[in-house]
Structure formats: structure tokens, C-alpha cells
């Protein structure tokens, strides 16, 4: 894309009906840019529309449309009129020269061409042109794109977004209290600070984003391809953090903050003008709300991202305050109601005592990385509780859900080992539940981790089996001990023939591969009976037991409601 960068190649168009002359000239200036050749006027105009030349080397004497006519047509076309025209002719009379200039040419070269001299002229013109272009499109202090170039890029981004249905975000950033800082430190330090801000903004942005300076302490960042507003919020947060890092320059240390307003196409703005106006209004709101923050223009977007933000903050403090608990649900051998295992399921207890269920916070915990400490807490608690049961003469295997984020973390294996040591639980009493997605992600790494776990004697279960990447080949490749049939199949197996068929197939598969099988979400006796007929013996579901706190789980076992093998 020619217009995107600063040091892009110039495009040169040679218009010359003598092919040998054209080729010789093209050869002489080959390294000055991207050279195109046309042999007559009409094809020159057509080619110019395609290649958008910076410079046209235009022969005057051509049959049909002569050079003057071509120049006139170029200058009349708003898309082409910016191209610089240098005439080339063997009839170097004053008349011709004057006419050439009148038509908007900037220079005149005589034939036969003195190639080194022609080349030097052309090179000088291109350099001038690119300097002028840069001046017109960039901010003198920071070298960032200015308002004009931003406008252009925003236009392009919107055109593309309309075609491909992506979002475009505009972030308007205004430094907080910069005027008083500038007044107190002096303008040269103020300028140095602005330059440093520009550097940090560029570093934080992606290559396809445009960071521009509007003047003063106001910057605009254009994100041309945005897949979700959460990502825009995260980006704004990152920008605020990077600006808040102290600036150390010229022997001084300076602290800055910024307020950011965000508008989005097509959610709240439909063109360049409204994007700017709305980003400005949102920035103003950010200032009113106390500065050093970002605001979306759209109240809906603001609320939904703020909701996530709040949830994340609550989750962090919940971890510190011990608001997470581990519940246990029994896995039962159906024919004689013997408990063969328990699954650890996390719960988050609200201040008012109510419980928040995992689907409401696990996805965000995964996205923010909080799943690592949360998952570690669950594993540790589950191992300690299982060991306590064993010491009381009730040996039960405990299953712990491991999210992909946790599993792929470098220190995962070490963490599991440390917890086993600390809890003194034998590895054969620990089962880790992973989903099919984990197996599909990073095959080599996953294989190594699973082999290492297996070597220690830890069991591996595939959770929600049948819903993920239905490639069965991996079952052979990975050391797996258990398949858990996803509850969606169990729920509908009595009414939906295809669900019943899937369950039958999974059961046959597990028998062929000698894997243990657990059916999840068993709620009725009919489901349990049908599953047993197909050959599945181990069940988990409300029919047998709901997930309950550890002390209730102990009481359930003690009361003999369900036996332990």
C-alpha cells in the first residue's frame, strides 16, 4: 500500500511512443522507484489511474494524443492532478517550454537524453516531493501522522470496514494537566515529553494502527480492524498504563496521565466526522469522571465492558479474601450405588452468601490469567480433602478440572508435583479433567505434559467428550484413562435418536480402547437404565448427588447413603 508509510517507493510513469527510448530511460532510473511505461496518451491515462504515479515523464511528440493533451487530462482528474509532470522533448524551443509549464509541468528535459543528468533531475524532484508530502501529512514535532493523514486513513479504514464488517475504533487521548506541566517545566521539556509520549503510543499500537497527533497534547489512535470492544478497552487500559510510567528525561522525572475517549464504527458512529465528535465527547466525559481513565461514547458498550472490569476486580479480591470454595460431586457405580470418585467444582460465595457458578466467571478468569491462581487453589484444596478422606478410611479418587490456559502454563507440572507433595496424596488418587480443545492446541507440548503426568501415576480424563474437535486419532496418541460423555448427549438421549447413537458409539470406542467411561448429567432413572444397557457403568448427576461442600460430602459418605469401595 503506497500511501501508508513514509519511506515508500515513488511511482514513476514514463510516457513515450519510442519503445527503445522508453526502455533506456526506464533502465537509467530503475532504482529511483517503481517504474511503469505507456506507449501512447490514452494508455498512459489508463495506467495512471491504476498506478497513481508521483511523477510522470511525458514525451510531447506522440501520434494521436500528444503530451500536452495528456498533461491537460491528468491535471483535470482530481485523483491524478497531484502527479508531477516532467516533459521530455527533442524540440527544445522556448515556446514549447513555456507551454509545458503553462500546462502544469514542473520541468523540461531535452532529447537526446543525457541519462546521468536526467536521472539527477528526476531524483531531486522525487526527494522534494517526498519531503513536501511528509510535511503536509506529518506533525513537525513528533513525526507522527497529522490530522490530514489521519483523515485519509480513517476514510480508508471505514471503506474497508463497510465491506468486511469489522469495527473501526477511534481513541482520542488528551494528557491530563499538561498545560500546567508545560508551563512549569518550560516548553523544550514539554516538547521532549510529547515526543516521548508519541514513542510510547507507537510502541503500544499494532503496525496497522495509526497514531497521530492533532496538535497540543491531543493524540488520536485509529484502530482499523477491531474484533471486539473488550480488546479496545484492554488496549486503552494498556495505553493509560504506559503513559503512567514515569518519564525520565533531561535529568528530571515526570509523571503524566491521560484521559481517553473511544468511539466505534458502526456501533456509535457512521463516518469520520462522527467518530471524531463522539471520541471527543467521550474524552470529555473521562475528564469529568476524574481523569486518568477511558470512556466509551456508547453507554451500552461502556456498561458491558465496565461490568467485565468490575467482575475482574471482584475476582482478584475474592481470591485474597478466600471467597472461593470447592464443592464435590460424587461419581457413582450405578449398579450398587458405590462412590468411586468425586469431582471438585469451584464455587464463588458472594458477600450475601449466594453462590456464583463457574460459567459466570471461568471464561473471564481464563482471559485474564486469573485462572492460574484460582486453579491452583482448587487443586490444592481438592488434594488436601481427598487425603483427609483417605486417612479416614474412605479412599476416593478426586477429579479436578484443568483449563487449557493452566495446562499450557510452563510451571504446570511442577505445580502439580508440589501440591501432591504438600498434601501427601498418592498420585493414583488424582485425576485431571481436560477438554478435547487442550489436546488440539499444542500437540507436542501436550503430549509431553500428559506423559509426565502419566509417569507419575496421575490419571487423565477427557471432559465433555464428543463436543470438541471430533478427531478421534488423538485418543491413540495421548495417554488417556477416562472419557466423560458430555451431559448434552445424556440429556436428550431418550428423545433424540442421534444423541443415543453418539452415546453408543462413544461407549464402543471406550471399550475398544480400554478406557474408563463416565456419563455426566444423569438426572433420571430412565437415563441411568439406558446408559447401563449400552454398557456405561459409572454415572455422575443429580439423580445420585448434587455438588455439595466438603463437610456435606463427608456426611453423605458417613451416613452410608452411598458406599465407598
List residues near Ca ion by CB under 5 A.
Answer: 401, 433, 463-464, 520
Closer residue to ligand C2E, CB minimum distance, 48 or 344: 344
Instruction: Give me the least distance between CB of 522 and ligand C2E, in Å please.
Output: 6
Instruction: Give me the least distance between CB of 461 and Ca ion, in Å please.
Output: 8
Instruction: Give me the least distance between CB of 367 and ligand C2E, in Å please.
Output: 13
Closer residue to ligand C2E, CB minimum distance, 125 or 376: 376
Distance CA 64, CA 150 (A): 42
Q: Which does 67 bind (CB under 5 to 8 A by kind): Ca ion, ligand C2E, none?
A: none
Instruction: Give me the least distance between CB of 268 and ligand C2E, in Å please.
Output: 34
362 in contact with ligand C2E (CB under 6 A)? yes
Query: CB pairs under 8 A, 24+ apart, for 230-234?
Result: 230/305, 230/308, 230/367, 232/169, 232/171, 232/262, 232/264, 232/296, 233/262, 233/294, 233/296, 233/305, 233/308, 233/309
> Comparing C-alpha atoms, which of 200, 204, 207, 220 is closest to residue 152?
220
The pairing of strands 324-333 and 563-564 is unpaired
Closer residue to ligand C2E, CB minimum distance, 178 or 361: 361
Q: Which does 469 bind (CB under 5 to 8 A by kind): Ca ion, ligand C2E, none?
A: none
375 in contact with ligand C2E (CB under 6 A)? yes
E-strand stretches of 196-323: 210-215, 218-226, 247-249, 252-254, 258-265, 294-296
Query: CB pairs under 8 A, 24+ apart, for 69-73?
Result: 69/41, 70/15, 70/41, 70/44, 70/45, 71/100, 71/103, 71/104, 71/105, 72/103, 73/41, 73/45
Angle (deg, nearest 10), helices 19-28 and 115-137: 60
378 in contact with ligand C2E (CB under 6 A)? yes
33 in contact with ligand C2E (CB under 6 A)? no
Closer residue to ligand C2E, CB minimum distance, 11 or 493: 493
409 in contact with ligand C2E (CB under 6 A)? no
Residue 145 DSSP class: B
Instruction: Give me the least distance between CB of 436 and Ca ion, in Å please.
Output: 11
Closer residue to ligand C2E, CB minimum distance, 261 or 547: 547
Q: Which does 436 bind (CB under 5 to 8 A by kind): ligand C2E, Ca ion, none?
A: none
468 in contact with ligand C2E (CB under 6 A)? no
Coil, helix or strand at residue 12: strand
Contact 126, 55 (CB under 8 A): yes
**Site residue total, ligand C2E (CB under 6 A):** 22
Distance CA 116, CA 27 (A): 12
Closer residue to ligand C2E, CB minimum distance, 385 or 520: 520
Q: Which does 64 bind (CB under 5 to 8 A by kind): Ca ion, ligand C2E, none?
A: none
> Comparing C-alpha atoms, which of 443, 343, 354 is closest to residue 401?
343
Distance CA 95, CA 106 (A): 15
Distance CA 507, CA 520 (A): 13
Q: Contact with ligand C2E (CB under 6 A): which of 125, 464, 485, 519? A: 464
195 CA to centre of own chain:
27
438 in contact with ligand C2E (CB under 6 A)? no
325 in contact with ligand C2E (CB under 6 A)? no
463 in contact with ligand C2E (CB under 6 A)? yes
346 in contact with ligand C2E (CB under 6 A)? yes
Length of the chain: 565
329 in contact with ligand C2E (CB under 6 A)? yes
Quick note: the x/- pattern for ligand C2E over 515-534, rule CB under 6 A, is -----xxxx-----------
395 in contact with ligand C2E (CB under 6 A)? no
**Cα end-to-end distance, the chain, whole Å:** 70
Q: Contact with ligand C2E (CB under 6 A): which of 345, 370, 389, 461? A: 345
Closer residue to ligand C2E, CB minimum distance, 34 or 523: 523
Residue with C-alpha cell 510535511? Answer: 135
Q: Contact with ligand C2E (CB under 6 A): which of 33, 105, 145, 541? A: 541
Distance CA 212, CA 205 (A): 11
Residues that bind ligand C2E (CB under 6 A): 329, 345-346, 357-359, 362, 375, 378, 401, 403, 463-464, 487, 520-523, 540-542, 547
Amino acid at each position: 500500500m503506497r500511501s501508508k508509510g513514509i519511506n515508500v517507493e515513488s511511482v514513476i510513469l514514463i510516457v513515450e511512443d519510442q519503445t527503445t527510448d522508453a526502455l533506456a530511460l526506464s533502465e537509467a532510473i530503475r532504482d529511483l522507484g517503481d517504474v511503469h511505461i505507456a506507449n501512447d496518451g490514452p494508455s498512459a491515462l489508463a495506467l495512471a489511474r491504476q498506478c497513481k504515479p508521483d511523477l510522470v515523464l511525458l514525451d510531447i511528440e506522440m501520434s494521436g494524443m500528444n503530451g500536452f493533451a495528456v498533461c491537460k487530462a491528468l491535471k483535470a482528474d482530481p485523483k491524478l492532478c497531484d502527479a508531477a509532470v516532467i516533459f521530455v522533448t527533442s524540440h527544445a524551443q522556448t515556446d514549447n517550454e513555456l507551454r509545458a509549464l503553462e500546462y502544469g509541468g514542473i520541468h523540461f528535459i531535452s532529447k537526446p537524453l543525457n541519462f546521468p543528468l536526467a536521472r539527477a533531475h528526476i531524483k531531486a524532484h522525487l526527494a522534494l516531493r517526498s519531503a513536501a508530502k511528509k510535511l503536509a501529512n506529518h506533525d513537525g514535532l513528533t513525526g507522527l501522522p497529522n490530522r490530514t493523514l489521519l483523515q485519509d486513513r480513517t476514510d480508508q479504514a471505514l471503506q474497508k470496514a463497510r465491506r468486511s464488517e469489522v469495527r473501526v475504533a477511534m481513541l482520542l487521548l488528551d494528557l491530563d494537566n499538561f498545560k500546567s506541566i508545560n508551563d512549569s517545566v518550560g516548553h523544550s521539556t514539554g516538547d521532549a515529553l510529547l515526543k516521548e509520549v508519541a514513542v510510547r503510543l507507537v510502541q503500544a499500537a499494532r503496525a496497522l494502527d495509526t497514531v497521530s497527533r492533532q496538535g497540543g497534547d491531543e493524540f488520536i489512535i485509529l484502530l482499523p480492524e477491531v474484533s471486539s470492544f473488550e480488546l479496545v478497552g484492554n488496549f486503552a487500559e494498556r495505553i493509560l498504563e504506559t503513559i503512567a510510567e514515569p518519564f525520565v528525561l533531561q535529568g528530571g522525572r515526570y509523571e503524566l496521565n491521560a484521559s481517553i475517549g473511544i468511539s466505534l464504527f458502526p456501533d456509535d458512529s457512521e463516518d469520520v466526522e462522527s467518530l471524531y465528535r463522539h471520541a471527543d465527547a467521550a474524552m470529555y466525559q473521562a475528564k469529568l469522571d476524574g481523569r486518568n481513565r477511558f470512556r466509551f461514547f456508547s453507554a451500552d458498550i461502556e456498561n458491558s465492558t465496565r461490568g467485565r472490569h468490575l467482575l475482574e476486580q471482584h475476582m482478584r479480591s475474592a481470591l485474597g479474601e478466600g471467597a472461593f470454595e470447592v464443592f464435590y460431586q460424587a461419581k457413582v457405580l450405578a449398579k450398587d450405588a458405590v462412590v468411586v470418585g468425586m469431582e471438585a467444582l469451584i464455587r464463588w460465595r458472594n458477600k450475601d452468601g449466594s453462590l456464583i457458578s463457574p460459567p459466570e466467571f471461568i471464561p473471564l478468569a481464563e482471559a485474564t490469567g486469573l485462572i492460574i491462581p484460582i486453579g491452583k487453589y482448587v487443586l490444592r484444596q481438592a488434594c488436601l480433602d481427598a487425603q483427609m478422606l483417605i486417612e479416614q478410611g474412605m479412599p476416593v479418587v478426586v477429579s479436578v478440572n484443568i483449563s487449557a490456559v493452566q495446562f499450557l502454563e510452563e510451571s504446570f507440572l511442577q505445580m502439580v508435583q508440589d501440591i501432591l507433595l504438600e498434601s501427601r496424596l498418592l498420585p493414583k488418587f488424582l485425576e485431571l479433567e481436560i477438554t478435547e480443545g487442550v489436546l488440539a492446541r499444542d500437540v507436542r507440548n501436550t503430549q509431553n505434559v500428559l506423559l509426565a503426568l502419566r509417569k507419575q501415576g496421575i490419571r487423565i480424563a477427557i471432559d465433555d467428550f464428543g463436543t470438541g474437535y471430533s478427531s478421534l486419532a488423538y485418543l491413540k496418541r495421548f495417554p488417556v484413562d477416562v472419557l466423560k460423555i458430555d451431559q448434552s448427549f445424556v440429556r436428550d438421549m431418550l428423545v433424540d435418536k442421534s444423541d443415543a447413537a453418539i452415546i453408543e458409539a462413544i461407549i464402543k470406542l471406550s471399550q475398544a480402547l480400554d478406557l474408563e467411561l463416565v456419563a455426566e448429567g444423569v438426572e433420571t432413572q430412565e437415563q441411568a437404565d439406558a446408559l447401563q444397557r449400552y454398557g456405561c457403568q459409572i454415572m455422575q448427576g443429580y439423580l445420585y448427588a448434587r455438588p455439595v461442600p466438603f463437610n456435606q460430602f463427608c456426611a453423605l459418605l458417613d451416613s452410608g447413603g452411598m458406599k465407598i469401595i
